Every structure is written in C-alpha cells, then in structure tokens.
Copies of this chain bind each other. A is one copy, B any other.
Amino acid sequence: MMSFEATREYIEQLRELIEEGNKKEVAVLMKDLHPADIAEIMDDLNTEEAKFIYLLLDGEKASDVLIEIDEDDRRRFLKVIPAEMIATRFIEYMDSDDAADVVADLDEDVQKEVLNEIEDIEQAGDIIDLLDYEEDSAGGIMAKELVAVNENWNVATCLKEISRQAEEVDEIFYIYVTDDDDKLKGILSLKKLILNHTNTKVSKIYDPDVKKVFTSTRQEEVAELMDKYDLVAMPVVDEIGRLQGRITFDDVIDFVRDEAEKDYQMVSGITGDVEPGDKVWHVLRARFPWLLIGLLGGILSAVVLGSHEESLTKVTQLAFFIPLIAAMAGNVGVQSSSIVVQSIASGVKDIETPVRKLVKEISIAVLTASIFAVLIFFYNFFVSGNMNLTYSVSISLFIVIIFASLFGTVIPLILHRFKIDPALATGPFITTMNDILGMMIYLSISGMFFNLV
C-alpha cells in the first residue's frame, strides 16, 4: 500500500521537534504527506503544536488539512487565531462549500470580520450565498465551483472556456450545459468532448437526460439519488432551473457513513461520536443519558414488581423467569424497531398498503410468540412440574412478544410521522419500555393463574 501510517514513534519524534522549534525538520517530515494524513497526525497533537504545523504549510495544503480534521479540533484551533489569518491563510484557498462550512462554524462577529477580510469579492459573495441555505439542503452542501458551457458554443470554444474555468475546479467530472438564461440543459462528458470534432456544436452532442436536484432538496434525498444512479456529481438548480452549484460523491460517502453511524449509536445507546483517542469524560458523557434512562426504567420495574409483592412472596419461582420475560421483550422490541428504522433510512419505496403491512407485522409477531411460548412451555412442563407456573410463563411470554413487536414497529413510525428521528425509539429506549410492560403483563397473568388478585 502506498499509504502513510502515523506510528506512535513518528508522533513522538514530531512532538519533540516541535518543542525544539525545529521548523526545518518538521517541514521535511510533512513535505510528502497528503493533507488527509497530516489531519490524522493533527488528531494526536494539542492546539499549540497544531498551530506550529499550520504555519509551516503552504496555503493550499494548510486549508486542505483544516477541512480534513475533526470538527471540534477545528473549532478550538480557529478560536486561537485572528480573523485576518483565517481569511487569508485558509478561506481564500478553499472551495466555496468548505469555506462556507468553516465560516458557518465561527461566532457571528468573527464571521463578519472574516468575510470582510477575504480579498476575492466573488468568493466572499459565493460564501454568503451558501450560508443562506438550510444546512441539510442541497444548497447547504453544494459547491459553487463547476465547469459550465453554453449550448450554442462549439467544441473548440468549449475547450478554451474550460481551460479558463478549470483552474478553479479541482476535478471536472462533468461539464454542465446551460442556455443563455443559465438554465441547466444537460451534461457533456469530457470523453464526448475529446471524441468530437472541434466544429461540432454543443447542442448536438450533449446529453439532455440529466439528473438534478433543487437547492431546497433534502440532503438525504440527494445522497439516495446519487447512490441509486451512481453519479460522481449532481448539479443543483434553483426554482426556475438555473444552475447554482454541484455536489460531489465524497459528500455522499461521508453522509452515508455519518447517517449509518448515528443509527448505530442510537441502537447501542450512545449519544454522539466516540473514538479511540477520546478522553474519559467524553466517553462517559456519551454513555450516561441512556444508562440513566435504563436506571429509571429499572426503578419503575421495581415499583411494578413491588405492587405484586404478594404473588412473588407466595410463589418464589415466579421471580426465576423475570430475566427471561424482560430479555425476550427487549430483544423482540429492538429487532422490530431496528427493521423499521433501517427501512426508513434506506429510503426503499414501500408499495405495501398500510393494512397489508400491519397484517404482516401481526402475523410475524403471532408466529414468533407462538414458537417461543411453546418452547418455554415444554421446558417448564418437564423441569418445573408446576402447571400454574408453566401456563403463566408461556401465556405471558406470548402476550409480551406480541406487544413488544407492535410497540417496536409503531413507535418509530409515529416518531417519523412527527418528523422526529425514529432511531430514538431503538435500543435502550424500546428495551426499557418493554421491560416495564413485560413485568406488568407477567405479574398480572400469573396473579390470575395463582388466584392471587
């Protein structure tokens, strides 16, 4: 692999050199590294050390590194350097989308200062335009930099114009074709341009079948479309079809990864990112909220069980199956809610009617409940020999599984309907709720069997 690995030795050597203030040696160490690699190194340095390195790098590389590093680190770093430096050493070298992201993160007064320090008025204008869009809309993630040609030009004019425009654009991917009103007409691949004669008119060779999104289109939908149609870049237009910017594949990869991580964290009961290098209190803070909910749920379960103290005193064996009922309720609930959340997240269109959907969910719940009720029936029948207990546990388990799967299915759907992230209702939330519910059902049913109520 032609990839760089930041070893512990490397980092230690680097920190020593920085402490000595050895600019020359540090510059040598950084010279051939990709910005993404330098960003990885920055992760292990403190703000002062990071600053030392930033000041050594040339503008292009320094700004690339700044975009690649962790958001929290970036915020901390930008707090310690003056607005003028943010503008001239970083922002001016960035694409408009990255620049807007960085500026959006600054305090409002610093934002103004930085925008005023940008020398290239056109770039400052682009950033201001981008800051106006909703953060999670296509407008909020697009870059203004792109290559566009007029449909009336010929190939030769195009090549000349592209040479001019291309200086600002990192990678071209597609050339967008617009009419005299800047309305997007289609795309032209570089391949087509190379393969055609210089006199050929653009209108003759461009592909009018272009996928596009509006500035207001939600980020999720953009990602879904680009993934579905395998697009490297997606053009963004305004309400009347004028070309405004483009979104590239790397944004989609990051989005897909981030969304998946968010859902994964929810189902695992973690709030926010936790990474290997994180401080103890950071990890603790991410884990605390759901554990607290679990504790409160446990106390509520204790209250429920306490209200059936008589049953538990008379028939101690009832207590033996508390973990089983709670575990099955929890597992069934997590499964159901996760399936719903995943199908919402995948954006798969669902042509089942609501009625058919509900019938299916109930069939699955009844089948699952029956299988496990029968299994535990046989276990208790042969092992415990207590028929009342055998009936109580089996019937309770049957009802608990059905309720747990229904709640697991319905609650995320309701949250989604009210525009709340359905992933909230996975993991510890549904487990805790189903634990309490499971105890209520179990003790009520067994109370009836032992004629205790």
Contact = CB atoms under 8 A, between A and B. Distances in A.
Given A2-B211, A335-B269, A249 B277 contact: no
Given A269-B331, A351-B44, A189 B171 contact: yes
Contacts of A276: 343, 348, 350, 352, 357
Interface stretch (A109-117, A128-136, A320-328, A414-422): A320-328
A169 to B, nearest CB: 8
Contacts of A159: 194
A432 B327 contact: yes
A427 interface: yes
Contact of A274 (B213, B303, B342, B352): B342
Nearest to A264: B264
A29 interface: no
Given A171-B232, A351-B7, A328 B270 contact: no
A264 B40 CA distance: 26
A354 B86 CA distance: 38
Contacts of A288: 368, 371
Contacts of A232: 171, 173, 232, 249
Interface in A206-221: 209-214, 217, 221
Secondary structure type dominating chain A contacts: helix
Interface string A316-354: 111111111111101110110111001100101111110
Given A298-B323, A321-B298, A368-B284, A331 B363 contact: no
A321 B339 contact: no
Nearest to A158: B194
Interface size classification for chain A:
35 or more
A24 interface: no
A416 B339 CA distance: 26
A256 B90 CA distance: 31
Contacts of A269: 331, 334-335, 338
A71 interface: no
Interface in A23-78: 32, 34, 36, 40, 44
A331 B432 CA distance: 10
Contact of A312 (B11, B225, B319): B319
A326 B323 contact: yes
Interface in A287-332: 287-288, 290-291, 294-295, 297-299, 301-303, 305-306, 309, 312-313, 316-328, 330-332
A228 interface: yes
A379 interface: yes
Given A249-B249, A295-B328, 15 more contacts: A3-B211, A172-B191, A227-B250, A256-B260, A257-B260, A284-B368, A290-B331, A290-B335, A298-B323, A298-B324, A302-B321, A302-B324, A319-B322, A322-B322, A322-B323
22 contacts: A3-B225, A8-B353, A34-B229, A171-B232, A172-B189, A173-B173, A227-B257, A264-B267, A264-B342, A280-B364, A280-B367, A290-B331, A291-B332, A297-B324, A298-B324, A299-B379, A301-B324, A305-B322, A312-B312, A312-B316, A318-B319, A323-B326
